[in-house]
């Protein structure tokens, strides 16, 4: 068998995602044009699938950008009979942009918007949550874990993006705060027996961790 090319696999995974709403396509086009790091269609659809699988009603997102990942979770909530997804981002322009997209998609009633630092917002928000999704600045991943662990219900899912960090985790000379943050977080969660953890090499690598 010939060697698998990473990009070929990723393109194939995206090709398997069913047709999606025009608004999601527009958000993808904006990300492409502006080089904004959204999770993209394969991971978005995966988040939607996971939310459906656990029949999620309460979801907390850390680092929501302009609401692309939020839209996938909200889409699942519609099908699980309603609930809430918390959108958190500290940038006003992104928060407003997210609101516009999510209103247009008919998801406004399902989303609670927070324009603030995400970990502190999670700390101050009543849980427990069925799903917590983490996509904040990578250097801050390790310090987010204890708060996430406290706020996620037993049997809930933690989904964390960028766990391959564009391949930088394989470069031993890369000691940037972001790369060290991804390493440290991975070590913490995989060495804690309260979690059942796997890393899916989809796009930039997503960890899905089940809290016992």
User: Per rule CB under 6 A, is residue 117 in the interface with ligand SAM?
Assistant: yes
Residue closer to ligand SAM by CB (options 38, 102) is 38
Told to check if 37 binds ligand SAM by CB under 6 A, we report: yes
Q: Counting contacts by CB under 6 A, is residue 65 touching ligand SAM?
A: yes
Nearest to 146 by CA among 137, 155, 158: 158
> Which of 172/200 has CB closer to ligand SAM?
200
Part of the chain binding ligand SAM (CB under 6 A), chosen from 15-23, 115-123, 165-173, 175-183? 115-123
* 90 in contact with ligand SAM (CB under 6 A): yes
d(CA 113, CA 143): 22
Give the Cβ contact number of residue 92 at 10 Å.
9
What backbone phi and psi angles, to 5 degrees, belong to 137?
-55, 135
Rule CB under 6 A: choose which of 64, 95, 134, 179 binds ligand SAM: 64
115 Cβ neighbours under 8 A, 6+ residues apart: 88, 89, 90, 91, 92, 95
Angle at 39 between CA 41 and CA 43, to 5 degrees: 50
Pick the stretch among 50-58, 83-91, 102-110, 187-195 that binds ligand SAM (CB under 6 A).
83-91
Q: Which residues bind ligand SAM (CB under 6 A)?
A: 37-39, 63-65, 68-69, 88-91, 94, 117-119, 135-137, 140
């Amino acid at each position: 068998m010939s060697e698998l090319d990473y990009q070929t696999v990723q393109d194939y995974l995206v090709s398997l995602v069913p047709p999606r709403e025009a608004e999601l396509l527009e958000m993808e086009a904006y990300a492409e044009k502006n080089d904004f790091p959204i999770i993209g269609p394969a991971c978005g659809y995966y988040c939607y699938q996971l939310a459906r699988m656990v029949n999620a009603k309460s979801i907390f997102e850390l680092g929501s950008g302009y609401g692309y990942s939020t839209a996938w979770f909200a889409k699942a909530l519609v099908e699980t009979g309603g609930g809430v997804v918390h959108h958190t981002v500290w940038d006003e322009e992104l928060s407003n942009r997210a609101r516009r997209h999510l209103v247009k998609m008919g998801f406004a009633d399902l989303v609670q918007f927070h324009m603030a630092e995400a970990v502190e917002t999670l700390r101050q928000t009543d849980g427990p949550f069925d799903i917590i999704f983490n996509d904040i600045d990578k250097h801050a991943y390790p310090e987010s874990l204890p708060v996430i662990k406290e706020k996620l219900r037993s049997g809930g899912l933690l989904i964390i993006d960028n766990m391959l960090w564009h391949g930088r985790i394989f470069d031993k000379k890369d000691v940037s705060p972001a790369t060290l943050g991804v390493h440290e977080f991975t070590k913490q969660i995989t060495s804690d027996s309260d979690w059942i953890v796997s890393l899916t090499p989809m796009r930039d690598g997503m960890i899905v961790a089940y809290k016992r």
